[in-house]
Structure 1
Amino acid sequence: MSDAHHDHESAIRTPKQLAAAVIGFFLVTVLGIILLVQYVTQEKLGGAGSNALTAEATAVRLKPVADEGFTLKDANAPKVLQTGEAIYTSTCVACHGAGVAGAPKTGDAGAWGARLAQGYDTVVKHAIEGIRAMPAKGGNPDLDDIEVARAVVFMSNQSGAKFKEPEVPAPAAAPAAEGAAPAEAPAAAEPPKA
């Protein structure tokens, strides 16, 4: 029976040989992975994002956000007044389209009747200053009083009134005032005579 155990002898007989075999196995595995990675990545592949460092792609990334869909407004330019319908669509329809918070619906003559009976000036005053749940200028402080009045006329006329669209006041004569100021300046700059 002792002869039967000698038939299946292993090449590894000591713990040092076992350690060397395990380390060798891991080294061969790691070397195989490294060679496989080098083989796969040896060829340059063109894929999504491969042009990320080009001048055009960099310029697109650095472009200001304001250039995308925003219109810059010159604060010193004269204001262009919007129509009553445009103001209604952008500001007033949120409440007056559905009757939110007790707002009279546009086109509902019954709801507007009592308000219109107060007269044009009162209705416009309430729209500009605000009343009950309605904020001043419908919550849009950028609106001019003329624009608010135009929106009131639009809604009122849709609801049975016959108001006339407000006229835009003529701009003040600013150039005449500018011409008068320099004429006064030299007189003040003269030294007093002794």
Structure 2
Amino acid sequence: MSADPHYQATEEAHTGPIKNPKQLLLAVFFSFIAPIAIIVGLVSYVVSGNRPSGAAQGDNMSLYGVSQDTRDREVADRLKKVGSIEIRDANRALAAGEVVFKAQCVACHGAPGIPGAPHLNDAAAWGPRIGQGYATLLEHALKGKGAMPPQGGGDFEDLEIGRAVVYMANAAGGKFPVPERPAAGAAPADGAAPAAEGAASAPVAAASK
């Protein structure tokens, strides 16, 4: 083989840095195993206790104007219940219409009340409304009508709201019977409800003639 220095330099340049199997194994190790080891180490650091503790995080947040109490309140607001279930005693005595009126209706329908609302004892304002019948008045009271918000679902049962409606209507000349709770286990006979409605509306119709 020629001892030409130029030939030897050219041959070494073509052979590269890996000249034996041991160097090849080391190259493979550092090319694949080392990056994996680095990634595992970073993941372990992130999930380990090397991160700041919760108290330290709270202190850092307080530096930015957010206190731990504020965070607790925000969490409580996010976790608070959306609705609630109220269990009432079905056997308790029904509130009288006057009691319900004074507790829930007097602000708008009492004196002086608000403009546009029929006030207690105002026969001229209540006359056309009484002519609509008790069922319509009760529906308006429970579900709301115009500027009046719904009155159902509050502190009183729907039947007690109906008693307040009857109290106001009768004070202005209506003749509606005071609604009562059905007896336990008693089912109304067919046509009982329409008959009651008709009995309530008949005096009103007669009075309007």
Q: With the length of structure 2 as denominator, give the TM-score of the two structures.
A: 0.43
Q: With the length of structure 1 as denominator, give the TM-score of the two structures.
A: 0.46
